[in-house]
Structure 1
Amino acid sequence: MSGGWDSVRAQAAEAAFCIRAGELAQTAASFRFDIEQGLKNKDVSSLRMLPSYTALPDGGEQGDFLALDFGGTNVRVQRIRLLGGGKWEILKKAAAPLRCAVYDFTSQDTPREELFDFLAGLVDSAMDGDTKTPCRLGHTFSFPSEQDSLKDAKLIIWTKEFAVPGVEGEYVNALLSEALVRHGFANVKPVAVVNDTVAVLLAAAYCMSPVFIGSIYATGHNVCYLESFEGKQPKMILNMESGGFSKLIPNEYDNALDARSEKPGEQRMEKMTSGRYLGELYALALEYCLGREKGTVPVFSAAELSGILSDGAENILHFHGIDGLSKEEYEEAEALAEAVLRRSARLVAAEFAGTLWHLAGSGMILPQSIAVDGSVYEKIPFLQAAIHDALVELLGSDSRKITVACVKDGSALGAAIAACISE
C-alpha cells in the first residue's frame, strides 16, 4: 500500500531541506565569524578551536609506527612504514567493529576497561603478538578533546551516540597505555593523539602541497586548518570541532532528530551533515510524507540514500516496508533524498568557504587543496559534485583555485605521521 503518500507534504518536506544562495552565503560568513571570534575568546564561538600541538609534516618523515584509528563504527590498527618523499606502505592491518550482534563497546553499559581492552586486542593482532620490539603508536581519536601537548588528549564529550562511562574527562592515551600493559604490550608506547580531521590534514600534507584545510565527511563530520598566529607563536593545526557549529537554521526534522538524540542541543552541524544522521533525517521526512507516526519508518543508511539517487527509490523503499507508490510518488521520494544530501554538501561547502576567507584575510584566496577523508564523501559522488557547485556559488572565480581532494586512509596515515613527528 502507498501508506497515504501526500504529494503536497512531499514538496513541503523537500523545500525544508533547501538552502538558498543568501542563506548559504550567510552560513559561510557566520562560520568565518566564529573562527575569528574563537581565536580571541572561545566562550563566544560555537567552534571549539582546539590546538593540536602540531604543524604540518615536511614529507621526509621515515620509520615504522603503529596507527590506531578510533572514532567511527570500526576501529583499525595498522603497522605503517613511512618511506619519506611522501611515500608509505602498510605492513599489517587489524580491524573490528565496535558494535555487532553479540557486543556493543559504545554503550553506557560498557565499562571503560572493556573498551580499551578491545583496542589493546587489536594492537596485539597488528603486532603479531610481538611483546618485545619497541614501537611508537599514534592515536587518531575522533572526538572533542582537550590537549596541552601532542602526547595525550582528555575527552571533553562523547559524540556520534557513544556513551561509555568513565572516559569523559580522562586522558585517552593513559587509558590505552594501561590496557596495553594489562595485555603484556608494555613495548608499545602511545606517544601522540590527533583528531581524525587533523590526521587527514597531516596525511595530505605528507603527500601533496599546498594544503591547509582538512575534513572528515563520514559517520561524523569536522574541519580543521593550519593557523598562522600573529607574533612569535608557531603555526599550528586547529581542530575546530565544526560539527558543533550552531549558527544554522534547522527544520522540523532536524529538531525532531536532535530531541531524541543522546545529547540534545549539541553537534547541530554534524546532525545536519554527517552519515550518522542523514538517513534518519530522511526517514523522519518520509514519515511526514506518508502520514505515519514518528519511529515507524526504519532509519536509512547514507549508502541507501546514494542508491536512491543512482538506482531509483522503489527497491530501497520496499526494503524499508514502503510499497505501492506511483511513478510520480517514487520520483518525489527520490527528490527528497537528493534534497537531504544536497543540503549536507552545501553546508560543508559553507564551512570550507568560511575557512578559506579566514585564511585569506584581507588578501586573495591562494591556490590550494582541501583534504577530505570519509566513506560518505568517497562513496557518494553526488556530494562531491554538490560541494563543487556550492563553492562556485560562494567563491565565484576564486573557486578555480581550489581542489577538493579525497584522501583515503588519511586517519591512519596521519596517526603514524603524528607518532613520527612527536619525537
Structure 2
Amino acid sequence: MVGIGPKQPPSRKGSMHDLPQNLLQQIKDFEDAFTVDRAKLKEIVNHFVKELEKGLTVEGGNIPMNVTWVLGFPDGDEQGTFLALDMGGTNLRVCEITLTDKKGAFDITQSKYKMPEELRTGTAEELWEYIADCLQQFIEHHHENEDLAKLPLGFTFSYPATQEYIDHGILQRWTKGFDIDGVEGQDVVPPLENILKKRGLPIKVAALINDTTGTMIASAYTDPEMKIGCIFGTGVNAAYMEDVGSVPKLAHMNLPPDMPVAINCEYGAFDNERVMTAGLYLGEIFRLALIDLIDSHKDLIFKGQDTSKLRKPYLLDASFLAAIEEDPYENLSETADIFDRELGIRPTDCELEMLRRLAELIGTRAARLSACGVAAICTKKNIESCHVGADGSVFTKYPHFKARGAQALREILDWAPNEKDKVSIMAAEDGSGVGAALIAALTLKRVKAGNLAGIRNMDDMRTLL
C-alpha cells in the first residue's frame, strides 16, 4: 500500500494468506477506505493552510484562530511563585509553581479534586463556589495566615473562549459534557474573582489560558526549539506564535506588525464532517465499519451471534482500539477476550485477523491526519525545523501514534529518505499548570515594561507586581 505509514509491529500479515477470500476482499476494501496516501495528505495540508489564514481574518472561517494575548515565548529567566488553576473535564487541579533562578527550572506543588457529576448541569454559582472551595482548601493548607495579595493566578480554562484581553474570556460554548446555564456568552473571570473576594482571598487572575497555549509555552520554557503546542486526546488542537501583522482581525488596534501573539487555533472544527481524527471518534469509526459489514454482508462475520451491543453509538472509545493493537499474542487471544467481555461476541480466528487489521488502519489514519495540522502551521509560517510539544491521551497512550505521525510529516514535508526529522513531535511539559504560571509571569513582566496590549484590569495587574 502506498503511504500507509511506518512499518507496523509484527502483526498478522503472515497468516492473512490463510483467510477466506471474502474476508481478504473485505480487508482490501477497508485498506482502500482508510488509507491516506502522500498525495491526499498534501491536498489536506494545502486546504488546512487556507482555513488557518481565513480564521485570522475579520470574516473568520471554520477554524476560530482565537487570539490569546500571550505576546511571546519565555526566555527561561522568569521567576516568582504563582498559583495555577486547571479546570478539565473530569478533575480540577490547583497548583503552586515556583519558577526558580535556575534557567528553565521550576518546583510544583499540586492537589487534584474530582469535579462532581452534578456540577456539569448545575448552576453557575455552584460551579464558581466549588472552584473557590478547592482553591481555599489548597491555600489554607499551604499558606495559612499569609498575605496572598501578590500571588497571581493563571487559570487554565480549556473550553472555547473569545479573549479581547488576557485576563478575561467569554465562553463561546460548553464542551466535555458541561451544560451550565448562565455561563455561555459571559466573561468567566469576574464571577470567580467576586466569590474569592467574598471569602477574603484577594487572588487575582493574571491570565486566562487554554491548555494548548499553555502546552506550547511550558515546553518552550525548557526547550527553546519548541514552536508549536498540540493536544491529541479526546479532541485535537494546536497553538503557535503569529506576527500581529499577519492577523487582519487585529488591524484596527494599530499594534506593531512584528509583535508576536499566540494563536489558539481550536482546529478541531476543521472539516468536522469528514476528517474525525480525535480520540473521541476512533472507536466509533471502528464500530460503524463493523455495523456496515454486518448489515451489508449477511453472515460474513459473527455468524449466529447477538451483535445488538454494537448498535450503541460511541460505545467504544480509543482505548478499545489501542488494546487490540497492543495484543502481543499470535492468536490474538486478548482481542478475543475484549470482544467477549465488552460486546458478548466471540470472533473466529479469521475474524480476529480482520479486526486487528481494521484497528491498525483506523489508528494509522488518525495519526497521519493528525500530522496535517502541524504540517499546515509549519507550511504557513515557513518553519523548516522545530520541536512540537504534544500532550493528550492519544499521543501518550495510543500504540505507534508518534511513529506514524512522524512518518506522515516526512512524506508531507518532503524530507530525503536518510534525512533526520526536522520537525519533531515530542512529549510536552505540563501546559495546564506550569504553562499557566509562565503565562501569568510573562503577562506581569510586560506590564512592568509598559506593554499593556490585551490587558483589561491594569490596576489589578500593577498590585501584583
- TM-score normalised by length of structure 2: 0.77
Q: Do residues 78 (structure 1) and 95 (structure 2) align? A: yes
User: Match for residue 370 of structure 1?
Assistant: 388
5+ long unaligned stretches in structure 1: 1-5, 251-268
**Secondary structure class of the residue paired with 2:214:** helix
Note closer, same or farther for the CA distance 1:381–1:40 as it changes in structure 2 (3 Å cut): same
Root-mean-square deviation (Å): 2.4
- State the alpha-carbon separation in 2 of the partners of residues 341 and 126 from structure 1: 40
Q: Matched residues, percent identical?
A: 31
User: Match for residue 194 of structure 1?
Assistant: 209
User: Are 1:25 and 1:394, in contact at CA under 8 Å, matched by a contact in 2?
Assistant: yes
Aligned with 1:229 (options 230, 236, 244): 244
**Secondary structure class of the residue paired with 2:338:** helix
Note closer, same or farther for the CA distance 1:210–1:123 as it changes in structure 2 (3 Å cut): same
- State the alpha-carbon separation in 2 of the partners of residues 185 and 422 from structure 1: 24
Cα offsets for 1:230-281 (capped at 9, x unmatched) = 38231111111111112x672xxxxxxxxxxxxxxxxxx6xx1222332233
User: Match for residue 147 of structure 1?
Assistant: 163
User: Match for residue 115 of structure 1?
Assistant: 127
Aligned with 2:281 (options 277, 283, 291): 277
Alignment of 1:352-367 (within 5 A): 352-360=374-382, 365-367=383-385
User: Match for residue 353 of structure 2?
Assistant: 331
**Secondary structure class of the residue paired with 1:176:** helix
Cα offsets for 1:199-218 (capped at 9, x unmatched) = 00110111111222111112
- State the alpha-carbon separation in 1 of the partners of residues 279 and 363 from structure 2: 10
- State the alpha-carbon separation in 1 of the partners of residues 161 and 138 from structure 2: 26
Cα offsets for 1:129-160 (capped at 9, x unmatched) = 44753121101111111111111111111223
Q: Do residues 176 (structure 1) and 192 (structure 2) align? A: yes
- TM-score normalised by length of structure 1: 0.84
**Secondary structure class of the residue paired with 2:343:** coil
Alignment of 1:155-170 (within 5 A): 155-170=171-186
> When the two structures are aligned, how many residues end up with a matched partner?
385
- State the alpha-carbon separation in 1 of the partners of residues 277 and 145 from structure 2: 42
Q: Do residues 220 (structure 1) and 235 (structure 2) align? A: yes
Q: Do residues 245 (structure 1) and 261 (structure 2) align? A: no
Note closer, same or farther for the CA distance 1:77–1:12 as it changes in structure 2 (3 Å cut): farther
Note closer, same or farther for the CA distance 1:285–1:178 as it changes in structure 2 (3 Å cut): farther
Note closer, same or farther for the CA distance 1:249–1:243 as it changes in structure 2 (3 Å cut): closer
Q: State the shift of 1:355 in Å.
A: 0.6
User: Match for residue 255 of structure 1?
Assistant: none
Note closer, same or farther for the CA distance 1:280–1:179 as it changes in structure 2 (3 Å cut): farther
Q: State the shift of 1:314 in Å.
A: 1.6
**Secondary structure class of the residue paired with 1:199:** helix
Instruction: For 1:112, give the aligned amino acid.
Output: A
5+ long unaligned stretches in structure 2: 1-21, 246-254, 296-306, 445-465
User: Match for residue 128 of structure 1?
Assistant: 140
Alignment of 1:390-401 (within 5 A): 390-397=408-415, 400-401=421-422
Cα offsets for 1:102-131 (capped at 9, x unmatched) = x3432xx32122222222222223323447
- State the alpha-carbon separation in 1 of the partners of residues 99 and 282 from structure 2: 36
**Secondary structure class of the residue paired with 1:127:** helix
User: Match for residue 292 of structure 2?
Assistant: 288
User: Match for residue 258 of structure 1?
Assistant: none
User: Match for residue 462 of structure 2?
Assistant: none
